[in-house]
Chain A
Amino acid sequence: GAVVSQHPSWVICKSGTSVKIECRSLDFQATTMFWYRQFPKQSLMLMATSNEGSKATYEQGVEKDKFLINHASLTLSTLTVTSAHPEDSSFYICSARDVGTGGFGELFFGEGSRLTVL
């Protein structure tokens, strides 16, 4: 199957700093990528839809100024957690859908990034 690479896999930062997480589709093009957040022993909650060449679409309750998303190319989307606070500590996962599947195919997931804010 297609590969989605997410980096870094874990990061520890001080409160007030910003952290950038990258999501890359390695062997396919993805006009759309999705960012999820997962708390321990809970399901994935969709945060936003990242659209190549345009603004991201955020889910209700997600602060767009807090979670900046940039989808600069067909293979890269980044999520920046700005002015991070301990409550932002979580597991962040990106996913992408192969354009070639016509938009209804399986999602391919990155390995996730565990953010810990001290």
Chain B
Amino acid sequence: SQQGEEDPQALSIQEGENATMNCSYKTSINNLQWYRQNSGRGLVHLILIRSNEREKHSGRLRVTLDTSKKSSSLLITASRAADTASYFCATLPSGTYKYIFGTGTRLKVLA
């Protein structure tokens, strides 16, 4: 089934730096969501961006969506050690009701 590709697969940065993760997908979508997962835990919803939106902010998070390129990015500014987690994008393809998850980016923020 269609699955979003995320890059990088793993990212290691110093505390205070910004972290950028990218998600690409294959077909038109209704919306795209970003989730965070701490090791061995469930997923926590971060941001939902609809297909007619280009950018959304939530605290230190900034998400962009470029439907012409079929891609989205998640920017975490002023990262903290507590941001260490895996981040997944999930797309809802147009005409469907099932979200498809990307491959994920493992972020490690070093104190």
* Chain B contact residues, CB within 8 Å of chain A: 1, 3, 30-31, 33, 35, 40-45, 48, 88, 90, 92, 97-104, 106
Contact = CB atoms under 8 A, between A and B. Distances in A.
Interface in A60-118: 60, 91, 93, 95, 103-112, 114
A1 B1 CA distance: 29
Contacts of B30: 104
A107 B3 CA distance: 17
B31 to A, nearest CB: 6
A109 B43 contact: yes
A43 B102 contact: yes
Nearest to A105: B48
A109 B44 contact: yes
A104 B42 contact: no
Given A34-B98, A49-B98, A43 B45 contact: no
A44 interface: yes
A107 B42 contact: no
Contacts of A6: 42
B98 A46 contact: yes
B41 A111 contact: yes
A25 interface: no
Interface residues of A, number: 28
Would you list the 10 A-B pairs with minimal beta carbon distance, nearest first? A111-B42, A109-B43, A109-B42, A44-B101, A112-B42, A106-B45, A43-B101, A106-B48, A43-B103, A43-B104
A108 B90 CA distance: 12
B89 to A, nearest CB: 10
Contacts of B101: 36, 43-46
10 contacts: A34-B99, A42-B104, A45-B101, A46-B98, A46-B99, A46-B100, A104-B92, A106-B33, A106-B45, A109-B44
